Amino acid sequence: MPSLHTARLNTKARGLRVLGVDPALAGATGYGIIEFVGSTPRLVRFGSFKLPARATLAARLYEIHSLIAQLVAEFTPDAVAVESVFTALNIRTALKLAEVRGVVLLAAAQASIPAHSYSPREVKSSVAGYGAASKQQMQQMVSSALGLTEVPEPADAADALAVALCHAHLARAHERMDAATSPTPVVFVSRGVIRNTQTLRNRIRAARILES
């Protein structure tokens, strides 16, 4: 059965919104949604979903896909971030967990939302600054980053929030880098008309060619 926590939101102000997912095979699949207002991340929703131990793999895949599709439809995230398969798992478990990740990626693709994968070490390094941080440390860091009064429970949901934060940090860093390195055309006003200097340069070049 799903467990969840939803924060009260000011829908008038919305920045980057990310759905993070911590997929699980036998245990609970965690999910968490965050968004930025300016440079501050805030919680939208987090929770976990776990089926009875007797549930078949097909039933698990169906329910997890339905859950992610519902969250995507309700909260319209800008991106879905998923934790990648842990390399230390045995091959059989890793393959089954890859199928769980597959239905998460499918739900994102069906909604035309970009999906990104991050290893556990990448997530821990981004959020806690330490690639071998414990679950308790990650819960504390996630709680601090989102300004929560209590650590998010269960740990699977905290892991999902950490995945979302990891992607958001990287995406915002790329945006800042692009803004710093991309030349910004100078815009000025002439006789009440806003003109782009790059457009004017092109027109000047064309005029010189005609004159020659």
Cβ atoms of 17 and 32 within 8 Å: the answer is no
Q: Quick one: 16 exposed, middle or buried, by C-beta within 10 A (0-12, 13-18, 19+)?
A: middle
Only one residue has tokens 């000011």, namely 10
Only one residue has tokens 């896909």, namely 65
Instruction: Tell me which residues are annotated as active site.
Output: 22, 83, 156
| Buried b / exposed e along 190-204 (16+ C-beta atoms within 10 A) | eeeeeeeeeeeeeee
Q: Please report, for the chain, how many H helices and E strands are present, in that order.
A: 6, 8
User: Which residues are bridge partners to 49 per DSSP?
Assistant: 2, 29
Report the residue count for the chain: 212
Strands 193-196 and 17-22: unpaired
C-alpha distances (whole Å) from 137 to each of 4, 20, 88, 126, 130 are 21, 18, 21, 13, 10
| Buried b / exposed e along 119-140 (16+ C-beta atoms within 10 A) | ebebbbbbbbeeeebeeeebbb
